[in-house]
């Protein structure tokens, strides 16, 4: 792109750096990763806020360079409501240094990790998040892509209610994703993923398929429900723990949640449900939650209506009984008067 840099923004280290282009105005530092910084920026041409992932200078590692280019290619080819959308990519000059960047959708919310630190979501909210992330995974899995790093930090959540959900969740960061056939830039000599959320097959350094994302999502949902990360400790300790035991799923959870989470975190990848099946089960949970909520809030109203109907029926019955008694009394009086008159005439 080669734009002249304008303006300035402070880096996390506190040192100012000129990081605005003729099109993008950098506004706020959002976060850092191993390969890049992420900023909120303003697109001057389209008048909208977006997120810019600004990659650090080349480290000299061919794998890191291929990993960066893979993320750009993957994001550019994927379009789904449950994924962070890419708008632009390019290179600009930062004081003589070439900096690769991705301009993408700005999600005005927080990561699921940040939300969990603030408090536990409801089971309905967990189901909303799970359904949307599973839908996004079903989309990428259908394109033979494995995310390989599903974790709370990579799920962005907003409080906007849409599509029948109480909040919106989007899956981000495809930096270590790979194609299932392994034909695109795979480093076979390293275990990639976040130790607390990787699958057993990842921990063993085996080739992975779509079930590995299901296992990771299962651990994420379990943490969202219980508030506890299942496999904690140092990276090596956390990674190896799943090779010796299954995740502990509280029996106090509703039976349907226990069954789903146990299936998602099964040691055998073949025993895990597909992303499509997980999304469908989550939507079943959501429908059940809606019906339960309506029953709780509408039950009193329905009972009141039934009681009012019974009262009205009782009043109508009493009124009709009174009218019938009056009619009978009038008939008796008429009969007596008639008899008396008849006796007088004949007498």
Q: Which residues are catalytic?
A: 149
47: alpha, beta or left? (left if phi > 0; alpha if psi -120 to 50) = left
Residue 117's nearest CA partner among 83, 153, 150, 82 is 153
With b meaning 16 or more CB within 10 Å and e meaning fewer, what string describes 212-233? bbbbbbbbbbbbbbbeebbbee
Task: Give 281's DSSP letter.
Answer: H
With b meaning 16 or more CB within 10 Å and e meaning fewer, what string describes 160-199? eeeeebbbbbbbbbbbbbbeeeeebbbeeeeebbbbbbbb
**What tokens appear for 33 in the block?**
């990763």
Q: What one-character-per-residue DSSP string does 184-213 give?
A: SS--TTS--S-TTT--HHHHTT----THHH
Residue 9 φ/ψ, nearest 5 degrees: -150, 145
HSE value, Cβ hemisphere, 13 Å, CA-based, for 30: 22
337-344 long-range Cβ contacts below 8 angstroms, 24+ apart: none
Residue 44's nearest CA partner among 75, 22, 68 is 22
User: What is the C-alpha radius of gyration for the chain, rounded to an integer number of angstroms?
Assistant: 33
Surface-to-core class of residue 34, CB atoms within 10 Å of its CB (0-12 exposed, 13-18 middle, 19+ buried): exposed
Cα–Cα distances in angstroms (integers) from residue 158 to residues 72, 110, 263, 294, in the given order = 24, 7, 28, 24
The CB density around residue 274, as the number of other CB atoms within 10 Å, is 16
The answer to whether the beta carbons of residues 89 and 76 sit under 8 Å apart is yes
């Amino acid at each position: 792109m080669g734009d002249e840099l304008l303006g300035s923004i402070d880096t996390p280290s506190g040192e100012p750096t000129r990081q605005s282009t003729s099109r993008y105005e950098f506004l706020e530092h959002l976060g850092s990763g191993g390969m890049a910084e992420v900023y909120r920026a303003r697109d001057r041409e389209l008048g909208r806020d977006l997120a810019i992932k600004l990659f650090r200078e080349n480290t000299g590692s061919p794998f890191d360079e291929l990993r960066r280019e893979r993320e750009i290619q993957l994001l550019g080819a994927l379009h789904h409501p449950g994924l962070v959308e890419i708008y632009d990519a390019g290179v600009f000059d930062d004081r003589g240094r070439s900096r690769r960047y991705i301009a993408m959708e700005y999600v005005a919310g927080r990561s699921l990790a940040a939300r969990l630190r603030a408090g536990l979501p409801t089971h309905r909210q967990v189901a909303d998040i799970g359904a949307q992330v599973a839908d996004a995974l079903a989309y990428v899995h259908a394109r033979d892509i494995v995310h390989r790093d599903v974790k709370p930090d990579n799920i962005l959540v907003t409080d906007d209610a849409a599509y029948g959900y109480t909040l919106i969740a989007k899956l981000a960061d495809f930096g270590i994703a790979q194609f299932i056939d392994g034909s695109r830039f795979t480093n076979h000599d390293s275990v990639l993923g976040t130790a607390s959320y990787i699958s057993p097959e990842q921990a063993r350094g085996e080739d992975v398929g779509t079930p590995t994302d299901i296992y990771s999502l299962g651990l994420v949902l379990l943490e969202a429900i219980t508030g506890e990360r299942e496999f904690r400790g140092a990276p090596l300790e956390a990674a190896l723990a799943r090779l010796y035991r299954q995740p502990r799923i509280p029996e106090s959870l509703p039976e349907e949640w226990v069954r789903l989470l146990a299936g998602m975190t099964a040691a055998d990848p073949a025993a895990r449900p597909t992303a499509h099946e997980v999304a469908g089960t989550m939507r079943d949970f959501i429908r059940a939650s809606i019906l339960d909520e309506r029953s709780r809030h509408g039950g009193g109203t329905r009972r009141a209506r039934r009681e009012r109907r019974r009262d009205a029926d009782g009043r109508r019955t009493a009124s009709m009984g009174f009218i019938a008694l009056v009619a009978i009394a009038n008939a008796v009086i008429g009969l007596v008067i008639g008899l008396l008159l008849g006796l007088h005439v004949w007498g």
